[in-house]
Copies of this chain bind each other. A is one copy, B any other.
Amino acid sequence: MDFMKNKNVSITGGYWKNKEEINRKITMEAVWNRFYETGRIKAFTFDYKEEGKFTVHHFWDSDVAKWMEAASYFIGKGYDEFTERMEYLIVNNQMEDGYFNSFFQYPGKIGGRFSDRNMHELYCAGHLMEAACAYYEATGKDRFLRAMERYAELIEKVFIKEESAAFATPGHEEIELALVKMYKTTGKEKYLDMARFFIDKRGGSKKDYGDRWGIVGVGLYSQSHMPVREQETAEGHAVRATYLYSAMADVAKTDVDEALGTVCEKLFSDIVNKKMYITGAIGSSHLGEAFTVAYDLPNERAYAETCASIGLVFFANRMTALKNDASYADVAELALYNGMMAGLGTKGDDFFYTNPLEICLMHHGKDVSVKQNEWLPITQRKKIFDCSCCPPNLNRVLASIGGMIYGYEGDTLYVNQFAESKGEENGLWVKQKTGYPNDGHIILESNARKLCIRIPSRCNSFTANVPYTEENGYAVIDGGYAEINLGMKPMLVEADPRVYDDYGKAALIFGPLVYCIEGVDNKEIFALSIQSDTSFETEFDEGFGLYRIKAKGIRKNGDGKLYSPLKGEKEDDTLEFIPYSCFANRGESDMKVWIELA
């Protein structure tokens, strides 16, 4: 299938509309302001030529480009508050030969261009290309796109025709998927060829052996340990990995390359069956922000970068498009609602880069031990990070959820996500009315001949008012009108016993949402366990826009002795859960997702 373009889909209400609005009104502004204050905006517009005092970072361009991509999506939907800033930003300092990079164009640095694989030049270029495509699609204005086409031609010349760069493939993938977007936006096959070139070159060039992140395995960090088509397990830096895999899935689809598609399936399977948190977060290790071995999913020291969940969303959506299989969209949903949304505070102006599944403030200690625990993620959201990739990534994803909802192939329409919305593209239209994820009632209307509706794996039941058959995880019905009811009941989930960190524990889910308990609602949460046969009470929380859930559990009482013969003195208690994505919004607090079974 192809996804309906973001600008052809309007989210008209509910959870994602609310997040889109918070993004437009608060998060976009917050990110812009922080980027301005920290010099990112000035660096991008080469203001350093005048002031000469910025310390430009080599991936700042990508930060700004992601914000520009987000702004373009909003402009495409008719919001014009970002137009002036976009015009201000669009690359005015491109070199004669097409090169653009605020770090290497800093006075005295240009000699270093294309000399170091780890300096993010093609990564920044990729993000600029994504922004340029989005801006062109939003406005029809092509100055930005043409600038990026010139840059792409320079890249083709240096990396493909002349092979004159010091490295063969970039240390941080991104250009590959961006080139596919360039192809789709311009129709020029050349960009697809370039994407394919960078994919197939990876892991096969001696030029790239000097991976300075050998600390996480020679080449593993940047998925350069072997040719891409031979890879069977997800390895290394999780964001790099998922950006690469996304491009691979893109190319597998455009080329109808089944072998490459099979590689993508294996990599996806390795992630979701062995290396993914229940929140859809990935990359559990803080060293290298990377995947580690299968089932190594520690909760308290989870790295689980917001961008990695976003990368998984990208990969999952592309696999959905490649395979017409709802199980991929199901993973995208999980990562969106949990791993990704945990990265944004409810007010919309503060962020997590790392997203732990457990916080034990005791382990963070007082003065005496706080520095000991640098391996622990931070416990409160921040306004900006030195490496601030996640906030503008949230900007662009929250501005483009619309583009993840509907797919089509011929006159078949796929409903991949549930959100009150309407879409129209290529002669097909669809309307969806629902209060999901707070309510499982969904009304769909469409002119498609066939309607394929994802059967969500985390709902208890799926019923429709019309007959349906099941195919690749979709309920297939004749087009027109359908009412769906998803069984939305809180449910306890367990992990494979090989996930040692979750042993003897359960997590609470409710539809696509993973829940957690916080100290602010439950006092000493580490003395609590949950009844495996608990009933549940739900209560809507206006602030979160989602349900809270109460469950029955046990609180353990001590006798004041540090160690004593097993007595198991306990009392009944109630556990108050909130959606995991809403944690750490009410002050510093203990938190946990996986709760011991009573």
Is there a chain B Cβ closer than 8 Å to A128's Cβ? no
A450 CB to closest chain B CB, in angstroms? Answer: 30
Is there a chain B Cβ closer than 8 Å to A285's Cβ? yes
Of the listed stretches A132-140, A160-168, A367-375, A424-432, chain B binds: A367-375
Q: Are B562 and A273 interface neighbours, CB within 8 A? A: yes
Q: Pick from B272, B369, B494: contact of A293, CB below 8 A.
A: B369
Is there a chain B Cβ closer than 8 Å to A95's Cβ? no
Q: Are B365 and A292 interface neighbours, CB within 8 A? A: yes
- Complex Cα–Cα for A556 and B597 (A): 13
29 CB-based A-B contacts, threshold 8 Å = A216-B368, A220-B367, A235-B368, A236-B368, A273-B562, A278-B563, A285-B369, A286-B372, A287-B369, A287-B371, A287-B372, A290-B368, A290-B369, A292-B365, A293-B362, A293-B368, A296-B362, A296-B363, A298-B363, A362-B500, A491-B566, A492-B566, A494-B566, A497-B524, A497-B557, A498-B526, A500-B527, A504-B556, A507-B563
Q: How many copies does the complex hold?
A: 2
- Complex Cα–Cα for A330 and B215 (A): 47
- How would residues 278 to 307 of chain A score, 1 for a CB under 8 Å from any chain B CB and 0 otherwise? 100000011110111101101000000000
Q: Which residues of B contact A498 (CB under 8 A)?
A: 524, 526-527, 558
- Complex Cα–Cα for A529 and B568 (A): 15
Closest B residue to A274 using CB positions = B562
Is there a chain B Cβ closer than 8 Å to A173's Cβ? no
Is there a chain B Cβ closer than 8 Å to A565's Cβ? yes
- From known contacts A362-B293, A526-B500, infer whether A495 and B563 are also in contact, taking CB-CB under 8 Å: yes
Closest B residue to A557 using CB positions = B497
Interface size class on chain A is 35 or more
Closest 7 CB pairs of A and B: A287-B372, A500-B526, A496-B558, A292-B369, A497-B556, A492-B566, A497-B527
Q: Are A496 and B368 interface neighbours, CB within 8 A? A: no
Q: Which residues of B contact A522 (CB under 8 A)?
A: none
A245 CB to closest chain B CB, in angstroms? Answer: 17
- Complex Cα–Cα for A216 and B372 (A): 9
- From known contacts A273-B561, A362-B295, A565-B492, infer whether A368 and B499 are also in contact, taking CB-CB under 8 Å: no
Is there a chain B Cβ closer than 8 Å to A147's Cβ? no
Closest B residue to A570 using CB positions = B497
Q: Pick from B491, B560, B562: contact of A565, CB below 8 A.
A: B491
Q: Are B527 and A494 interface neighbours, CB within 8 A? A: no
- Complex Cα–Cα for A291 and B366 (A): 11
Which A residues, 185 to 221, have Cβ-Cβ distances below 8 Å to chain B?
215-217, 220
Is there a chain B Cβ closer than 8 Å to A86's Cβ? no
Q: Which residues of B contact A527 (CB under 8 A)?
A: 497-498, 500, 503
- Complex Cα–Cα for A481 and B566 (A): 36
- From known contacts A296-B363, A532-B568, infer whether A563 and B494 are also in contact, taking CB-CB under 8 Å: yes
Is there a chain B Cβ closer than 8 Å to A493's Cβ? yes
- How would residues 471 to 511 of chain A score, 1 for a CB under 8 Å from any chain B CB and 0 otherwise? 00000000000000000000111111111100110110000
